């Protein structure tokens, strides 16, 4: 039997090579994974042209995945620096990279990115539209926007954020809300401005069927963007956010009818006590589609430390069922992140994802922790370093102030609890002098 997309194959009972790879990675039976993909609860973003891809699954019962954002801007048009970030992300085993470049001709950079990266690649075509088309926003037509989507699909992009849910009904709800931060989604703000300037409906909503046909042809997963996500804890869970989510739920079903895989994007900034309800609501209104969250960032007053505020929210969201975390760096809200910012963002997100996997009982999630605990008990430093999420930093910290006592660290020395108890259990005398 022939098939066009992973979802179509799953519906026809076909196990694709990508499904087999993902099932092995996730320690899941192939048939169970196929059923989840057929029902839209798991996606494998895998463009037919992304030959270097190492497939990953996102969704119910799988390990929480993380995404790294990068890309050039008008203020920092340094492609080489962004490729350095790409290489770092691959070295750390990041499952996804989004190219958010919004300046100049981005095709050569993205072509190189797709050729090099084994991680899945995502884009936001709306960001690229002005530079790609060389037109002012108001002059861009609906068909122009579709051309950009097709160009990205042909290049090999595995998933695309498309803000199709911010239609006229959702905008009415937005205008009725007294938000502090209005629309903070870059793509959402551009679509809103285009709609207001032209008087037209959102082109991605109005021509949604045409969008789906393009995505289906190349097996691109649609990540339905939350244009009205809250940009402050004041604005979270308001009528605008929920109105758009209702529209996204309808769009999710329409995509599945065309055998297009769907990811649903979520907030944003949000107080801790609202996170669980928001995850439940997304899963309910969007029929269990994988949930992709930016953070959530749980407080607005920590610029320079938003990798921490985001990791807190991400761990909680994923423990309640979110499937995909977009990393946040210390540079969030301040500037384009440096290579070091990217590293810190990756580590914070990996910690959040792993902590959530432990909480929700993902298969084998605790194994590495148990091995670390055993190595700590035996005071085997080399094994501890090898099991650490950030081996380099752990080793640097230990070696920066080495202990005089071999089987300890410089914090406790000979009073190390592990040393004391290990000696005692062996029947050895514990001495300090």
d(C-alpha 291, C-alpha 295), whole Å: 12
CA dist., res. 357 & res. 61, Å (int) = 9
Paired with 264 in beta bridges are 224, 291
409 is in an annotated binding site: yes
- Token representation of residue 124: 């936001």
β-strand 120-123 against 42-43: which pairing, if any? unpaired
Q: Is 234 annotated as a binding residue?
A: no
229 annotated as ligand-binding: yes
> Which pair of structure tokens corresponds to residue 83?
């490729």
Residue 245 labelled as part of a binding site: no
Annotation-wise, does 258 bind a ligand?
Answer: no
Q: What tokens does 336 get?
A: 């384009």
| Annotated binding-site residue? 98 | yes
Instruction: Tell me if 177 is assigned to a ligand binding site.
Output: no
Q: 110 among the known binding-site residues?
A: no
266 is an annotated ligand-binding site residue: no
Q: Is 163 annotated as contributing to ligand binding?
A: yes
- 185 known member of a binding site: yes
β-pairing verdict for 120-123 and 96-99: parallel
Does 333 count as an annotated binding residue? yes
335 is in an annotated binding site: no
Angle between helices 142-155 and 125-133 (to 10 degrees): 110
Confirm whether residue 326 is marked as ligand binding: no
Residue 416 is labelled as binding a ligand: yes
* Residue 249 annotated as lining a ligand binding site: no
- Residue 127 annotated as part of some ligand binding site: yes
Q: Is 27 annotated as a binding residue?
A: no
- Return binding residues for substrate: 69, 98, 127, 163, 185-187, 226-229, 265, 292
- Return binding residues: 69, 98, 127, 163, 185-187, 226-229, 265, 269, 292, 333, 409, 412, 416
- Return binding residues for [4Fe-4S] cluster: 409, 412, 416
- Return binding residues for Zn(2+): 269, 333
């Amino acid at each position: 039997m022939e098939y066009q997309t992973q979802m179509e194959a799953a519906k026809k009972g076909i196990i694709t090579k990508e499904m087999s790879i993902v099932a092995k990675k996730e320690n899941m039976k192939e048939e169970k994974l196929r059923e989840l993909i057929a029902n839209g609860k798991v996606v494998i973003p895998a463009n037919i042209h992304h030959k270097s891809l190492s497939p990953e699954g996102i969704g119910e019962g799988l390990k929480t995945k993380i995404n790294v954002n990068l890309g050039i801007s008008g203020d920092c048009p340094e492609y080489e620096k962004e490729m350095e970030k790409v290489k770092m992300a691959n070295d750390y085993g990041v499952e996804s990279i989004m190219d958010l470049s919004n300046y100049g001709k981005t095709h050569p950079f993205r072509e190189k990115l797709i050729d090099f990266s084994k991680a899945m690649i995502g884009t936001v075509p709306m960001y690229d539209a002005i530079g790609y088309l060389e037109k002012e926003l108001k002059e861009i037509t609906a068909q122009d926007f579709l051309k950009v989507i097709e160009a990205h699909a042909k290049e090999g992009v595995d998933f695309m954020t498309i803000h199709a849910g911010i239609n006229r009904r959702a905008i009415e709800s937005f205008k009725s809300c007294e938000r502090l931060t209005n629309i903070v989604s870059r793509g959402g703000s551009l679509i809103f401005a285009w709609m207001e300037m032209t008087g037209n409906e959102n082109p991605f909503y109005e021509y949604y069927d045409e969008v789906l046909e393009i995505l289906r042809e190349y097996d691109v997963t649609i990540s339905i963007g939350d244009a009205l996500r809250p940009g402050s804890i004041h604005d979270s869970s308001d009528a605008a956010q929920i109105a758009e989510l209702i529209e996204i739920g309808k769009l999710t079903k329409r995509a599945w009818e065309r055998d297009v895989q769907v990811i649903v994007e979520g907030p944003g900034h949000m107080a801790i006590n609202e996170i669980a309800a928001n995850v439940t609501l997304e899963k309910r209104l969007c029929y269990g589609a994988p949930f992709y969250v930016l953070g959530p960032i749980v407080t607005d007053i920590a610029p320079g430390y938003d990798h921490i505020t985001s990791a807190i929210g991400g761990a909680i969201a994923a423990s309640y069922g979110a499937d995909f975390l977009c990393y946040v760096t210390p540079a969030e809200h301040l500037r384009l992140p440096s290579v070091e910012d990217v590293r810190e963002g990756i580590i914070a997100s990996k910690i959040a994802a792993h902590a959530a996997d432990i909480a929700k009982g993902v298969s084998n999630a605790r194994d590495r922790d148990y091995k670390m605990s055993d190595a700590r008990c035996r005071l085997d430093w080399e094994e501890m370093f090898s099991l650490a999420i950030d081996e380099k930093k752990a080793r640097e910290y230990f070696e920066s102030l080495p202990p005089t006592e071999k089987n300890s660290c410089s914090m406790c020395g000979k009073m190390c609890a592990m040393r004391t108890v290990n000696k005692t259990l062996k029947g050895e005398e514990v001495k300090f002098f």
